[in-house]
Structure formats: C-alpha cells, structure tokens
C-alpha cells in the first residue's frame, strides 16, 4: 500500500512539473485552522530592549532567542533561533510584528520543514483576520496561497497578543507549490508597475530572493520586454509563452474583488514574480494582502470600483491593461470574476469561515492589551467590525463589504463575454414615482444597481435591486435616477412632489 501511495505522489509531482499546476499544501501544523497555538519567545532582555529601541526599528539584525510552540497537548522547543522585527510601516506600530528564522544561528534547523515564520500584529485590522480570509479565498480559486493561522504570542513571558502566523515565501514554498525551486524569485516593491521604465536589476523594485550569486535577470528583462514591446499582432502568442496568463488573470480578478488596493493593479506594490522552471513561464504570487476586504487608507469606495478599469487612473499597469486588450484574455478574466463571486466570494462560502475564525480568536483577544494601542480598538469594535464601520480607515464591516462587492461585480460583468445574450433594458426595468416614493421593478435575472442624485448632483441614496425596491425621497424636487443592469446604464429624471 505504501508503494502505491508513493507512486501516486510521484505522479502528482510529475504532472505539476508538466502543467505548472499549483499544489497548495494542506493546513497542517503549524498552520492549524481549528485551534489557536501558543508561541513563546525567550531572549536576553538587553537584546529585546535594543530591538524595540526606535533607533533600531528598521534593523534586520537577528537576535538570539529560544522558541517554544504549544498546540493542544503537544509542544516543540527549538533553542538558538533568530528573532527580529519585520514589516515596513508596521515597525512604527505599538503592536510590532516579528520574524523567526530557525536556521540563523544553527544552519539546517527547521520547524515542521519551515526555515522561517512571520508573526504579524495586524494592528490595522480590528478583526485581526482580513489577511487570513484573503489568503483562504486565494487558495479556494487555486492560486499559490500563503498559509496562515492565529497564535498567542508571548515574549519573555509578556503576552504580546493575538498574532497572524504567516508562511514565508522561499524555496520550500516554491517547491511545495510548483514542484521546483531553482528559478528566480523576485519580491516586488512599490514602484514595480512592470512598465518599460522598470529596471530588472533594480533591487529596490525587484529584490532577487534566489540565485543571488548568479544574479542573471534575463528572464525578468525578457518578460518586461514582451509585456511592453510586443506588437498587437504577436502579443497574445508572445505573452502566453512568457507568462502563466491564466494564473495572472486569476490573481488580478481576486485582487480587484477583495479590494487589494495595495497590490499590483492599483498601487504597483506587494507581489512576487517567479520564473517557473517547469514551464519556462513567469508566475504571479500574491503577497501582503492585509489592506483588503474593507480596509482603506486613501479614500476610495472599493465596493463599487469598476472591475475592468480598476487600476489607478492616469498610470500604466501593463499586466492588467495589456492582457485585457486581448479578447480571449478579457473573456478569461471575466470568467474568473464570475467563478469567484459565484463559488467563493459570497455569504454561502466564506461567512462561516469568518464566524468560526472570530469565535476562535475572540477569547484570546480579550486579554490582548496591545490590540487597543494603535487605533483604540476594543472588543466591542471587534464584534462590530463583522458588520459595521469601526474606524476611519475601515469604512466597511467585512461581511457587507463582501456582499456589496459581490453585487457590484455581478452588475459590472460583461454578460456577452460570458456568452450571455445582451439584455433589453426597457423591457425588464420600470422606474416609477408616486409622490415621493420611487419604485423600481425588475424582471432581470441580474441584480440592478440604483443610484439617486439630487438636483445639485449629490448622491443621496443607492441600492441593489433584485426584483422590487421602494425608496422614499428625502425632499420634493428634481432627482436623477441612475440604473445599471449589466453593461447598460440609464438615467431617469423624476420630480418629487
């Protein structure tokens, strides 16, 4: 029986090498989903004080520590590990984030096959779970998805709070997802818009994580050249040979739908590129998806931004724009959006995961004194954040964000790209006004988006209508009613008395 299992495993790896298939590993220890583990770090107090000194926040120097991991009745002790701060702006937060490197002072040391762990404070998120949920969604649609779990962190016996335990993207990660690890892995920072102006050898844009001594970046140079300089006639064939197009389009579809504005398409930031040696194609790997699902620091309504023109206005994003120019890729992208909102990005699939995660971490969060330091969050904010706004930078609860984004994406989807015949607007939608009661009736199978503007052009109401909706107008006077169904938009003038 063991031989048969080994043969199956070998065949799976062989198939992955041939097809470039993503094989996301199971959620085993240390990424347990149904229990919350405890991590204890013990280190010299003088080293911890040095690390937390403002002058050293941005140092990547590891300090020696001992690592203890507890889950249920099992425990693991690893001495002489490396421990330091991690992150970018989060290093300035009161609730710091940390990186553990097991092999820093004892080469070859691993923890369940892992060389590193990232312990993220998630101080921006009142739910301490948006990144966790985003990676669950990325995994569902079979993208290379980082595994995450929640842990209780103690440093020198002080409870630091509830942390997100995040898998490191490294060679082991590559091997587990693509069945190879010898290609170039690039960590892409802010400014990596993939335009012709990007320098493949600029480590500030593209930090080479593997094959550093060789430092041959001709693969990235070729990818940038094909993406930007191919003629319209040969772009489709050239990019298909150079990029995992299906994976890139899936990544873009999910990025747009979860409101990952700090990723590639909007903010030219936070993603990895990997030259998959099994296929010879570049892979896009999602990364740092914490500013998602209702978190916003730049004043945009991400629930309603158009899925086809989502990237930043007046800036080039060739990986998004150039792919969607090709009709075949446009249809593929549309299919992925439709697949995602139908099967995963909805109440039926993900709300139970959200609720079970909240129940898991809430008891520990009651004792997390660091949780309140950066934005004044309280346990009542945690409870409210499932459905409501609780801070200026979190204008949506996670559940209404998902529901509204799902509905707006369904409205925006080009039905013709899905092979659905164009709808006849006037035959399916009626807009009537009785006194100050606006009535919208729809016979369409698609949801209808309604926006109501007053005579000064200010939006005073909006709604999603599935069959019938009545809206009471605040005052008498002229109103403009914008109704969107699929790709069709009509504006009605109505005067309320």
- pLDDT band, residue 17 (cuts 50/70/90): very low
Q: Check whether residue 150 and residue 204 sit in a common domain.
A: no
- Alpha-carbon distance of 6 to 347, in angstroms, equals 39
Q: Check whether residue 185 and residue 323 sit in a common domain.
A: yes
Torsion angle in degrees (nearest 10) through CA of 238, 240, 241, 244: 140
* Mean pLDDT score, 341-369: 95
Inform me whether the pLDDT recorded for 60 exceeds 80: yes
Q: Give the end of a domain, one of 275, 303, 328.
A: 328
* Mean pLDDT score, 166-179: 96
* 266, HSE (Cβ side, Cα atoms, 13 Å): 24
Inform me whether the pLDDT recorded for 2 exceeds 50: no
Residue 451 lies in a domain: yes
Residue 365 lies in a domain: no
Which range has the worst mean pLDDT, 146-155, 326-335, 350-359, 462-471? 462-471
Q: Check whether residue 145 and residue 185 sit in a common domain.
A: no
* Residue 230 near residue 238, CB atoms below 8 Å: yes
* Most confident among 238-252, 412-426, 448-462 (mean pLDDT): 238-252
Residue 42 lies in a domain: yes
Q: Check whether residue 79 and residue 217 sit in a common domain.
A: no
Q: Check whether residue 224 and residue 316 sit in a common domain.
A: yes
What does the pLDDT read at residue 11? Answer: 40
What does the pLDDT read at residue 423? Answer: 52
Q: Check whether residue 167 and residue 223 sit in a common domain.
A: no
Distance of CA 309 to the CA centre of its chain: 18
Interaxial angle between packed helices 327-343 and 398-412, expressed in degrees from 0 to 180 and rounded to the nearest 10: 140
Domain that holds residue 430: 425-496
- pLDDT band, residue 471 (cuts 50/70/90): confident
Residue 355 lies in a domain: no
Which range has the worst mean pLDDT, 1-15, 134-148, 158-172, 305-319? 1-15
Q: Check whether residue 113 and residue 197 sit in a common domain.
A: no
Name 206's Cβ contacts closer than 8 Å, sequence gap at least 6. Answer: 186, 187, 188, 189, 192, 198, 200, 217, 220, 273
Locus of tokens 């998602």 = 292
* Residue 452 near residue 438, CB atoms below 8 Å: yes
Q: Check whether residue 137 and residue 191 sit in a common domain.
A: no
More confident residue, 3 or 49: 49
Question: What are the residues facing 150 on neighbouring strands?
Answer: 164
What does the pLDDT read at residue 10? Answer: 38
**Helix (H, G, I), strand (E, B), or coil: what is residue 129?**
coil
What does the pLDDT read at residue 457? Answer: 67
DSSP conformation letters of 399-420: HHHHHHHHHHHHHHS-GGGGTP
Residue 352 lies in a domain: no
Distance in angstroms between the alpha carbons of the first and the last residue of the chain:
80
Residue 83 lies in a domain: yes
- Alpha-carbon distance of 386 to 388, in angstroms, equals 6
Residue 159 lies in a domain: yes
Q: Check whether residue 130 and residue 183 sit in a common domain.
A: no
Inform me whether the pLDDT recorded for 16 exceeds 50: no
pLDDT digits 0-9 by tens, 207-231: 999 999 999 999 999 999 999 999 9
How many domains does the chain contain in total? 3
Q: Give the end of a domain, one of 127, 147, 171.
A: 171
Inform me whether the pLDDT recorded for 145 exceeds 70: yes
Q: Check whether residue 109 and residue 197 sit in a common domain.
A: no
* Mean pLDDT score, 103-130: 95
CATH code, domain with 448: 2.60.40.3080
In 366-397, alpha helices (H): 379-384
Name 325's Cβ contacts closer than 8 Å, sequence gap at least 6. Answer: 232, 235
Q: Give the end of a domain, one of 328, 359, 387.
A: 328
- pLDDT band, residue 496 (cuts 50/70/90): confident
Please state, for a pLDDT cut of 90, what percent of the chain lies above it: 73
* Mean pLDDT score, 249-277: 97
**Mean pLDDT, all residues of the chain:** 90
* Residue 64 near residue 39, CB atoms below 8 Å: no
Q: Check whether residue 167 and residue 247 sit in a common domain.
A: no
Inform me whether the pLDDT recorded for 293 exceeds 50: yes
Q: Check whether residue 208 and residue 140 sit in a common domain.
A: no
What does the pLDDT read at residue 131? Answer: 97
Inform me whether the pLDDT recorded for 452 exceeds 60: yes
- Alpha-carbon distance of 453 to 438, in angstroms, equals 12
Residue 222 lies in a domain: yes
What does the pLDDT read at residue 22? Answer: 66
């Amino acid at each position: 029986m063991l031989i048969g299992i080994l043969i199956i495993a070998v065949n799976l790896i062989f198939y992955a090498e041939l097809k470039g298939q993503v094989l996301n590993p199971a959620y085993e220890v240390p990424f347990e989903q149904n229990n919350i583990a405890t991590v204890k770090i013990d280190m010299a107090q003088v080293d911890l004080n040095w690390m937390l000194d403002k002058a050293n926040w941005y140092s990547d120097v590891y300090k020696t520590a001992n690592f203890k991991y507890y889950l249920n009745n099992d425990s693991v002790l690893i001495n002489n590990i490396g421990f330091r701060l991690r992150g970018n702006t989060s290093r300035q937060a009161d609730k710091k984030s940390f990186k553990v490197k097991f092999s820093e002072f004892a080469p070859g040391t691993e923890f369940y096959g892992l060389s590193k762990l990232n312990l993220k404070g998630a101080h921006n998120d009142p739910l301490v779970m948006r990144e966790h949920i985003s990676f669950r969604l990325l995994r569902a649609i079979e993208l290379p998805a980082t595994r995450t779990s929640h842990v209780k962190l103690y440093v020198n016996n002080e409870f630091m709070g509830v942390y997100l335990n995040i898998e490191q993207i490294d060679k082991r990660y590559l091997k587990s997802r693509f069945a190879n690890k010898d290609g170039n892995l690039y960590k892409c920072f802010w400014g990596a818009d993939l335009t012709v102006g990007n320098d493949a050898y600029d480590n500030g844009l593209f930090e080479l994580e593997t094959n550093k001594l060789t430092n041959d970046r001709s693969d990235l140079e070729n990818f940038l050249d094909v993406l930007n300089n191919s003629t319209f006639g040969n772009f489709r064939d050239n990019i298909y040979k150079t990029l995992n197009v299906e994976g890139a389009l899936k990544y873009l579809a999910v990025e747009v739908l979860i409101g990952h504005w700090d990723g590639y398409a909007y903010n030219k930031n936070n993603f990895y590129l990997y030259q998959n040696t099994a296929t010879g194609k570049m892979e896009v790997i999602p990364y740092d998806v914490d500013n998602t699902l209702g978190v916003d620091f730049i004043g945009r309504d991400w629930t309603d931004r158009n899925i086809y023109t989502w990237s930043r206005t007046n800036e080039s994003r060739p990986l998004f724009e150039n792919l969607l120019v090709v009709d075949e890729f446009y249809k593929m992208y549309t299919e992925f959006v439709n697949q995602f909102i139908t099967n995963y990005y909805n109440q039926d699939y993900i709300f139970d995961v959200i609720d079970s995660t909240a129940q898991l971490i809430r008891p520990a969060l009651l004792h997390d004194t660091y949780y309140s330091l950066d934005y004044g969050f309280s346990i009542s904010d945690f409870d409210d954040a499932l459905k409501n706004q609780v801070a200026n930078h979190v204008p949506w609860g996670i559940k209404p964000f998902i529901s509204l984004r799902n509905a707006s994406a369904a409205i925006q989807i080009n039905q013709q790209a899905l092979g659905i015949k164009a709808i006849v607007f006037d035959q399916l939608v009626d807009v009537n006004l009785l006194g100050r009661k606006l009535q919208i009736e729809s016979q369409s199978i698609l949801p209808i988006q309604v926006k109501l503007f007053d005579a000064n052009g200010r939006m005073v109401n909006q709604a999603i209508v599935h069959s019938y909706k009545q809206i009471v107008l605040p005052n008498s006077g002229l109103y403009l009613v914008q109704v969107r169904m699929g790709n069709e938009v009509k504006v009605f003038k109505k005067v309320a008395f």
